[in-house]
Amino acid sequence: MQGATRLQAETSLAINEKRGSVMMVTSDVACQQVLMVNLFFIGAPGARTGEWTLVDAGVFNCAARIKAAAAELYGANSKPNSIILTHGHFDHIGAVKELAEEWDVPVYAHPLEMPYLTGRSSYPPPDPTVGGGAMARLSFTYPRGPIDINDRVQALPADGTVAGMLGWQWIHTPGHTPGHVSLFRERDRTLIAGDAFVTTKQESAIAVLTQKEEVNGPPKYFTPDWEAARRSVETLAALEPNIAATGHGLPMRGAEMQRELQELARDFERLAVPRQGRYVGHPAMADETGVVSIPPAVSDPMPKVLVGVGVAALAGVALYALSHRESDGARRKVTTRRQRKMRARNKAF
C-alpha cells in the first residue's frame, strides 16, 4: 500500500474508534448506533449547551440511550440547539417527540416530509417482495406513520443552510421518501446521507448484524420512487464526499467508498433497483399534502405458508441477535473484526 493511502487507512481507524457509546466519525461528528439505525451528534465533545445538533432520533424506546450519549459527549443536562430529520421513517424518529419536548428545541425537516410528521399522511406501504433478505421480508410489520410533532417541526430554511450547523448545507435527496434530505459539509467533505444510500445491505439481517461495509442503494423495501432515488445518488456522488455516514451501516471514507459510490451512481439500475416490485417503474406519487397515489400491490412469488413460517423464525433470530449485538462485548468483537480486516487489507497491498 502506498504511504499516503496507508496513512489514510490508519487515520480512519483512529477516527472511527469508539468513545463511550458513540463512534467518532470526525472530531465533531459522532455516530450512535441504536439497534440497526444510526443517529448523529454534530458538535465537538465538550461543546456547550445549545452549540450542538442532533441528526435523526433513532428507533422507538431509545430516548434514554440518546440522552446518555449526549451526556457523555456534552455533559449532564446539556441540550442541543435543534434536531434535524433526514426523513420521517419510524427508525429515524423514534425519540424525536420525547426529546424535542424535554429539550424544548425545534425539529427541522424538508417541507415535503411534513405530512408524515404532522399526522396528515402515512408513507406508502413497504414492498416485502423486493427480496434481499429478512429485513425486507419483515418490512410489512414496520410502522409507516404518521407521527404528529406539529407544534415542534419547522421547514428547513429555503437557502440550504441548516439552523445551528455552521458550514453545513442540506440537499434535497428524494426517492426513499419525498422530503428526504442529506447534509454535507464542504470543508472536510463529510456527508450524512440518511437513507439516500446506505453502507450496508439493509435488506439482509446477516449483513445488518455483521455490519459488512459496502455502498448500497436505499433500503429497497421502503423506497417508492426509484427514478428520484437514482437522481439523488447521482447528486451525492457528484459532491465527491470524503466521508459517508449513512442511516444504516458503519461510516465509510476514502478511496474505496468513493469508488463504490461512483459505481452506484453510474450503474444504479443494476446495483440498486430491484428487478421487480410494486414501485419499480410505478412510483408512489406524493405532494405537500402527503401520498396522493400508490400502484397496486404485486403478487408475492413466495408461497404464503413459507412466508409465515420463515418470517416468524427470522424475526426471532434477528431480534435475538440484534439485542445481543447491543452488548459492549459484542460491539468490541465487531470493531476487532473490522480492525483485523483493515490490517489484512493493508498487508495485501
DSSP 93-152: STTHHHHHHHHT--EEE-GGGGGGTBTS-PPPPP-GGG-SSHHHHGGGGS-----B-TTT
Nearest distance, CB of residue 298 and Zn ion, angstroms: 21
Q: What's CA 206's distance to the chain center, in Å?
A: 17
Contacts of 188 (CB under 8 A, 6+ apart): 26, 242, 243
CB of 115 to Zn ion, least distance (A): 15
Closest CB to Zn ion among residues 44, 322: 322
Give the shortest CB-92-to-Zn ion separation in angstroms.
Answer: 6
Query: Closest residue to Zn ion, Cβ-based?
Result: 89
Tell me how far, at minimum, the Cβ of 232 lies from Zn ion, in Å: 13
Nearer to Zn ion, 56 or 260 (CB): 56
Closer residue to Zn ion, CB minimum distance, 79 or 203 = 203
Could you tell me the smallest distance in angstroms from the CB atom of residue 123 to Zn ion?
Answer: 9
Residue 311 in grid coordinates: 418470517
- Based on CB atoms, which residue is closest to Zn ion, 91 or 127? 91
203 vs 260, which CB is nearer to Zn ion? 203
To the nearest whole angstrom, how small is the minimum distance from the Cβ of residue 201 to Zn ion?
13
Residue 190 is inside which H or E element, if any?
Answer: strand 190-194
The residues, any chain, with a CB within 8 Å of residue 267's CB and separated by 6 or more, are none
Judged by beta carbon, residue 35 or residue 165, the one nearer Zn ion is: 35
Binding site for Zn ion (CB under 5 A): 89, 91, 195, 247
- What is the three-state SS of 279-341? CCCCCCEEECCEEEECCCCCCCCCCHHHHHHHHHHHHHHHHHHHHHHCCHHHHHHHHHHHHHH
Which helix or strand (DSSP H or E) is residue 9 part of?
A: helix 3-15
Distance from C-alpha of 237 to C-alpha of 240, rounded to nearest angstrom: 5
